Amino acid sequence: MLRLAWRRLTSRNSCLEPVRLLTVAFSGAESPPQTSRGNVRCFRGVHHPPDCRSPLLHSQPVYYPSPSVFLSMESGSEEPPSIPHKHTNRLAKQKSPYLLQHAHNPVDWYPWGQDAFDKAKNEDKPIFLSVGYSTCHWCHVMERESFEDEEIGKLLSDNFVCIKVDREERPDVDKVYMNFVQATSGGGGWPMSVWLTPDLKPFIGGTYFPPRDQGRRPGLMTVLTRIIEQFPQWENNRPALESSGERILEALKKGTAIAANPGEAPPLATDVANRCFQQLANSYEEEYGGFRDAPKFPTPVNLMFLMSYWCVNHSTSEGVEALQMALHTLRMMALGGIHDHVAQGFHRYSTDSSWHVPHFEKMLYDQAQLAVAYITASQISGEQLFADVAKDILLYVSRDLSDKQSGGFYSAEDADSVPALGETEQREGAFCIWTASEIRELLPDVVEGATGVTTQADIFMHHYGVKDQGNVAPEQDPHGELQGQNVLIVRYSVELTAARFGIGVEKVSELMASARAKMAEVRKGRPRPHLDTKMVASWNGLMLSAYARVGAVLGDKAFLERAVQAGSFLKEYLWDAERQTILRSCYHGDKMEVQQISPPISGFLDDYAFIICGLLDLYEATLQTEWLQWAEELQLRQDMMFWDDQGGGYFCSDPSDSTVLLQLKEDQDGAEPSANSVSASNLLRLSHYTGRQEWHQRSQQLLAAFSDRLTRIPIALPEMVRALMAQHYMLKQIVICGQKDAPDTAGLLAAVNSLFLPHKVLMLVDGETDSFLCQRLPVLSSMSQHGGVAAAYVCQYFTCSLPVTDPQELRKILLDGSMGTQTE
């Protein structure tokens, strides 16, 4: 089959199909097809691939190893004993935690860069490109099985130029070759394995390979050997192979092109929003919330769309249903095992439909988006649960994902760790799971007033579903790592637990809080999972938004101070003022200092877009105009670097980088929102803050470029649909005239922050006519306090309300939109 595929590859008429055949020959026939190009993730603990016919394939595309692959890889979780390093390669000089994990492989690894490219061209060798990230389970497996294998290492080093890429450092490289792998094999995921010509054109791609053949799945040794067999005829095959590579790239360019037709307007917002709601409703799982049965992802972009949709449709049955979908999903996630009840924060996703057994990895971008979703639910519903969960997330991030010296945020915590000191075999969730005997030993005290002889452990185990035999079903534990273990999940309300044991609700709450605190102390003594201390600009921007938004709603000064610290970190460590460039990432050094690689990686579109959004949120939370000024500066720079003058919208990476073969525009809001989606909102907000009408027009051009996707599959871009809705309904400008720290000003600001207003900008006028805002918007100089008291003006459709001094009256105006008007 391989030779047939190779002959097809070199035929004149082949394009994508030959590579598809070749890839199948290498990667095996057992991997289920996945066809979407979105945010794929490293998976474990999942048996059933999604129905490829579902429209939600576009909202959370993933790579699922087949059940047989799961079973065949159980031994891959073993960690070799600690011994002196026999091998050290050039990755030892890198800063990326993922690259450093491979620094002692018997493989002559290069980082992505000119040295590797020159070697490939000078020696006329194919390139083996391996892409992953430091908390990816299957990346660890492939390293232990293959990249630590001496025979495989020699085969790779002698015959290929081997390049290792951290996808979180170089998302541009990852996107290009993931598009190739998905287009030619129907699936994708990490680790990603791609073979390139010396001029970086891909000709074979796959994902995880076992070291040697397993049934119908070829091993890495087989793949390498067969490629090497072909390369003695490299000179003979070169013209056909290079031609085929060119045709593949051309096909990918056409297939991924996104552009507006001349004069095209964005689609009608109401129609697009209604369709997006219907597509989400069709995939909604009613019992436990969320979308699809399993695996289940938090998908904050979906939840934020649903809550925004309710805001403009609250009097309709569809609006009520949208809100119910969002709030029920958030409640069930908060009660589920995906939520870490002991140490706070959320795991990556649930392997079952009830949010019970998670993949235990924790990602910074999930914490950031979920904190915003929960505080938004709190604003809408008034339920304390949602505010508590938002605080809970930020407490976790402050404690475990924060660089205390610089104010930056780390990227992720791994899912795997060793169960106890001295052990070498890492296990999924070992840091987070509990046996019933552990809990009984830790919580032995008899509870006074409870029925019978009841211990704190009895009440805790009842409330959190702890069982003597463990509470994880065998089908959720394909590796057998969770046998006899318990993943905490709230099974009963506090009221029902109190009734069950004949004690008061407050008593139960106290007992549960006390138990969780004791368990948190026990956890501190366990070996921690690997922490990826890389600080990524885009994810720090998302986290900046979270602290600013939550701090503003709760009036929490500590959260607001942390937000300011995060903003200062971004400006000090990830902004090159001399080059006027955002830097992609920086690193936690051995001596607690912040380190940078040389040369540093320049920022990508998502770095600019997410930081700008964070700065706008930080301005609205603190009303310090320095953040607004920097947002304006960054937007100008983003426009210069990434805007597509021909087709509209932004490229994901710098079009001038010749080593990136495809210029892509991300067309999916997945695990993270698309940078174009966020930019559409940023442009609109900034146009209201700065008076730059060209940014309003640019936002429209961007939305027009994505018209086809928005019209056909809006479920793929719920965050962009929110921007489209904001364009349609127009933003309210809420202008507070008063002294920033005065009590009357604070009262008006608290009224604004108590409400979820998706279509608004908030600004403060303090009487300084030469201020940044008054210079940009001269009309603000005519607004002032009313009778010496702080006053609010609500402006929309080129008219403003009469000044309002009472916070409750302001709240009423904002809720019902009834405004006595006064012409600007």
pLDDT grade, residue 233 (50/70/90)? Answer: low
Q: Check whether 17 has a pLDDT greater than 50.
A: no
SS3 content of the chain, % helix, strand, coil (to 5): 50, 10, 40
Query: Is the N-terminal amide bond of 655 cis, ω within 30° of 0?
Result: no
Q: What is the tens place of the pLDDT at every residue in 659-703?
A: 999 999 999 999 999 999 999 999 999 999 999 999 999 999 999
**Across 395-400, average pLDDT:** 98
Residue 540 has pLDDT above 70, yes or no: yes
Task: Evaluate if residue 154 carries a pLDDT over 90.
Answer: yes
Q: Does residue 65 carry a pLDDT above 80?
A: no
Q: pLDDT tens-digit profile of 354-388?
A: 999 999 999 999 999 999 999 999 999 999 999 99
Going by C-alpha positions, the residue among 523, 445, 430, 528 that lies closest to residue 484 is 430
Share of the chain above pLDDT 90, in %: 79
Give me the pLDDT at residue 797, please.
Answer: 76
The b/e string for 469-504 (b: 16+ C-beta within 10 A; e otherwise) is: ebbbeeebbbbebbeebbbbbbbbebeebbebbebe
Report the pLDDT value the prediction gives residue 570, as an integer from 0 to 100.
98
Range from 150-164, 176-190, 785-799 that averages highest in pLDDT: 150-164
Separation CA 256–CA 251 (nearest Å): 9
What confidence category does residue 295 fall into, taking pLDDT thresholds of 50, 70 and 90? very high
- Under the banding of pLDDT at 50, 70 and 90, the label for residue 418 is very high
Q: Where are the beta strands (DSSP E) in 457-516?
A: none
Strand residue runs (E) in 253-309: none
Query: Which of 274, 300, 256 is closest to 721 using CA atoms?
Result: 274
Q: pLDDT confidence of 823, banded at 50, 70, 90?
A: very low
Indicate if the pLDDT at residue 37 is higher than 70: no
Look-up of token digits 């579903």: 465
The residues, any chain, with a CB within 8 Å of residue 184's CB and separated by 6 or more, are 16, 19, 20, 23, 205, 248
Whole-angstrom distance, CA of residue 479 vs CA of residue 476? 9
Mean pLDDT, to the nearest integer, of 760-764?
A: 97
SS3 492: coil
Burial class (CB in 10 A: 0-12, 13-18, 19+), 220: buried
SS3 sequence of 722-783: HHHHHHHHCCEEEEEECCCCCHHHHHHHHHHHCCCCCCEEEEEECCCCCCHHHHHCHHHHHC
Phi then psi for residue 209, to 5 deg, are: -125, 130
Residue 377 has a pLDDT of 98
pLDDT band with cut points at 50, 70 and 90 for residue 69 = very low
pLDDT of residue 464: 98
Rounded distance between C-alpha atoms, residue 693 and residue 704, angstroms: 17
Is residue 3 within a helix (H) or strand (E), and if so which, with residue range?
helix 2-9
Q: Considering only 25-29, 271-275, 554-558, which range has the smallest mean pLDDT?
A: 25-29
Report residue 82's pLDDT band, with 50, 70 and 90 as the boundaries: low
Coil/strand/helix, residue 325 = helix
What is residue 424's predicted lDDT score, i.e. its pLDDT? 86
* Percent of the chain residues topping a pLDDT of 70: 88
Most confident segment among 212-226, 466-480, 509-523, 765-779:
509-523
**Averaged pLDDT for residues 232-249:** 74
CA distance 453 to 458: 9
Residue 345, amino acid: G
pLDDT at 54 (0 to 100): 30
Look at residue 61 and tell me whether its pLDDT is greater than 60. Answer: no
Distance CA 55, CA 60 (A): 10
The confidence band for 234, taking pLDDT boundaries of 50, 70 and 90, is low
Reply yes or no on whether the pLDDT at 60 is more than 80.
no
Section 104-124 average pLDDT: 97
Minimum mean pLDDT among 263-277, 609-623, 804-818: which range? Answer: 804-818
* Residue among 362, 369, 379, 283 nearest 327 (CA): 379
What distance, in Å, lies between the first and last C-alpha atoms of the chain? 74
What residue has token string 């939550």? 550
CA distance 209 to 141: 10
Q: Is the pLDDT of residue 64 over 50?
A: no
Q: Is the pLDDT of residue 13 over 60?
A: no
Q: What is the mean pLDDT of residues 473-487?
A: 92
Whether the per-residue pLDDT at 783 is higher than 70: the answer is yes
How many angstroms separate the CA atoms of 696 and 215, rounded? 57
How buried is 281 (Cβ within 10 angstroms: 0-12 exposed, 13-18 middle, 19+ buried)? middle
Q: Which whole number is the average pLDDT over 117-140?
A: 95
Assign 191 to helix, strand or coil. Answer: coil
- Mean pLDDT over residues 733-744, rounded? 96
* R_g over Cα of the chain: 27
Examine the pLDDT at 74 and tell me if it is beyond 50: no
d(CA 140, CA 57): 26
